């Protein structure tokens, strides 16, 4: 039986890989050196046709199921890794059967949790990790996805304007429904508590966990944050008709959290004195979609929020508040974004993401302005940042990414 490769976007290089060998026997020349977490399957990072792919051995049923699930979640625009192919019918040259394989695209500039926790984390960084994981789980639950194995090990983290964005890596145990029951959500939360607690104990035993991090309070905060965010997104709010401003307040609060309200269920009581509201359709990445609509830039939510703040400041500084938003955005792109990101030295562009560079320059500008007692020009700040801060930042990024 020949090897079969199921792929929506076939890559010719996949065909030439040594599928007749078990993954652990593949030549090391195929490997890409990247930080990796702990896997219950054999996993290899390889380069194919210029792209870095992740190959995981598993049985055919799970490989096909996970491939389909990941494609469905991608169509829902949820933060998950991209499925590339399912490889079945693998055999050694002597005819011995080998496991099937799931191939996914490596998520650029992402880190497994062990790479984050093996260095001391500040309180703000730790809170960022918690928030990222909570937002990921809530987004999955809002769209009806039961994870079934939510853990730090099955999550990748990307830095995003001083915060983090979390991505689902392993959907093997998941299931997509029209909506989740409270029991299903509760089961996922119990799994989060159990899995993350065990992972933190593992880090602690290996001397990789900062002594200031206590596992029990950490997992408690994950559940507390989840309950807060779920309540904000789906909770019912009741008020009198003379408090109608609270509808707009609710929408603005959800926008601040990074969500749009696609639909709002508004019900008045029989005597018309009371109003009950509940979001019905919640769309994530409010700022990212707004920025993309204005500029075409496709960025993480936190990055987009930071850039929109700068765009608003640009409009105020140039007295453009009453100008068409698209006109202002075009000017900002030409006068600020493009010339600033061109200041990234070519030798660093393999690891420095423009949006993160922009954010770091803004933070550096704030520090310089505080020290100088007046506002420092943004391009002068960028020049100073490139000379004094960026080389060390690049060294750190390359080390974190196995370069």
Distance CA 81, CA 74 (A): 8
pLDDT confidence of 64, banded at 50, 70, 90? very high
| Of residues 6, 145, 2, the one with CA closest to residue 69 | 145
Helices (H), 78-210: 113-117, 123-142, 182-205
Please report the pLDDT score of residue 369 as a whole number: 92
4-105 is a CATH 3.30.70 domain: no
Please report the pLDDT score of residue 101 as a whole number: 92
By CB atoms closer than 10 A (0-12, 13-18, 19+), residue 120 is exposed
CA 1 from chain centre, in angstroms, equals 39
Please report the pLDDT score of residue 187 as a whole number: 95
| Of residues 126, 167, 131, the one with CA closest to residue 150 | 167
Please report the pLDDT score of residue 16 as a whole number: 87
Please report the pLDDT score of residue 160 as a whole number: 79
pLDDT at 276 > cutoff 90: no
pLDDT in tens, 152-210: 889 999 887 777 889 999 998 899 999 999 999 999 999 999 999 998 898 888 887 77
pLDDT in tens, 334-381: 999 999 999 999 998 888 889 999 999 999 999 999 898 888 999 999
Distance CA 364, CA 388 (A): 10
Please report the pLDDT score of residue 130 as a whole number: 86
- The tokens describing 303, both together, are 């990055």
Radius of gyration, CA atoms only, the chain: 24
Mean pLDDT of 266-290: 78
Please report the pLDDT score of residue 246 as a whole number: 79
Mean pLDDT of 49-78: 91
Instruction: Outline where DSSP puts E strands in 285-397.
Output: none
pLDDT at 244 > cutoff 90: no
pLDDT at 116 > cutoff 60: yes
Distance CA 378, CA 340 (A): 8
Domain definitions of the chain by residue range: 4-105, 110-234, 237-284, 291-400
Residue 357, helix vs strand vs coil: helix
pLDDT confidence of 84, banded at 50, 70, 90? very high
Please report the pLDDT score of residue 124 as a whole number: 66
Beta bridge partner(s), residue 278 = 265
Which is more confidently placed, 342 or 29?
Answer: 342
Mean pLDDT of 14-40: 82
Please report the pLDDT score of residue 121 as a whole number: 64
Please report the pLDDT score of residue 387 as a whole number: 93
pLDDT in tens, 3-22: 788 887 777 888 889 999 99
Longest dimension (CA), the chain: 80
pLDDT confidence of 264, banded at 50, 70, 90? confident
Predicted TM-score (pTM) of this structure: 0.79
Helices (H), 235-282: 245-256
Distance CA 86, CA 57 (A): 10
Angle at 160 between CA 155 and CA 162, to 5 degrees: 115
Please report the pLDDT score of residue 336 as a whole number: 94
- Average pLDDT over the chain, rounded to an integer: 86
Distance CA 165, CA 300 (A): 7
pLDDT in tens, 92-110: 998 899 999 999 998 888 8
Share of the chain above pLDDT 70, in %: 94
Of the candidate CATH numbers 1.10.510.10, 2.30.40.10, 1.20.210.10, 3.40.50.1820, the domain formed by 110-234 belongs to: 1.10.510.10
pLDDT confidence of 1, banded at 50, 70, 90? low
SS3 labels along 270-336: CCCCEEEEEEEEEEECHHHHHHHHHHCCCCCHHHHHHHHHHHHHHHHHCCCCCCCHHHHHHHHHHHH
């Amino acid at each position: 039986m020949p090897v079969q490769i199921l792929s929506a976007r076939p890559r010719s290089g996949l065909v030439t890989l040594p599928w007749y060998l078990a993954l652990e026997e593949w030549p090391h020349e195929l490997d890409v050196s990247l930080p990796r977490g702990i896997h219950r399957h054999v996993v290899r990072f390889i380069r194919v046709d210029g792209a870095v792919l992740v190959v995981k051995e598993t049985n055919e049923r799970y490989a096909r199921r996970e491939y389909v699930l990941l494609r469905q979640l991608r169509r829902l625009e949820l933060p998950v890794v991209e499925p590339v192919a399912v490889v079945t019918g693998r055999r050694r040259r002597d005819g011995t059967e080998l496991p099937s394989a799931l191939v996914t695209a490596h998520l650029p500039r992402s880190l497994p949790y062990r790479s984050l926790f093996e260095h001391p984390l500040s309180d703000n960084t730790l809170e960022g990790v918690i928030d990222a994981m909570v937002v990921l789980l809530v987004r999955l639950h809002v769209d009806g996805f039961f994870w079934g194995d939510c853990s730090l090990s099955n999550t990748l983290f990307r830095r995003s304007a001083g915060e983090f964005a979390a991505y689902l890596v392993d959907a093997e145990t998941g299931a997509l429904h029209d909506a989740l029951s409270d029991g299903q959500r509760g089961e996922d939360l119990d799994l989060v508590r159990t899995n993350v607690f065990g992972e933190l104990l593992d880090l602690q035993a290996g001397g990789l966990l900062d002594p200031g991090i206590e596992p029990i309070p950490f997992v408690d905060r994950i559940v507390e944050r989840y309950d807060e965010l779920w309540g904000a997104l789906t909770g019912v709010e009741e008020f009198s008709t003379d408090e109608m401003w609270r509808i707009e307040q609710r929408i603005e609060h959800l926008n601040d959290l990074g969500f749009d309200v696609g639909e709002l269920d508004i019900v008045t009581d029989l005597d018309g004195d009371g109003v009950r509201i509940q979001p019905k359709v919640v769309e994530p990445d409010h700022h990212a979609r707004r920025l993309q609509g204005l500029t075409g830039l496709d960025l993480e939510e936190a990055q987009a929020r930071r850039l929109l703040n700068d765009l608003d400041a640009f409009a105020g500084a140039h007295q453009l508040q009453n100008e068409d938003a698209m006109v202002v955005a075009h000017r900002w792109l030409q006068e600020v974004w493009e010339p600033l990101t061109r200041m990234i030295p070519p030798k660093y562009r393999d690891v420095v993401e423009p949006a993160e560079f922009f954010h770091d320059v803004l933070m550096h500008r704030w520090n310089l302005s505080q020290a100088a007692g007046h506002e420092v020009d943004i391009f002068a700040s960028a020049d100073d940042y490139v000379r004094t801060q960026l080389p060390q930042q690049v060294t750190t990024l390359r080390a974190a990414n196995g370069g």
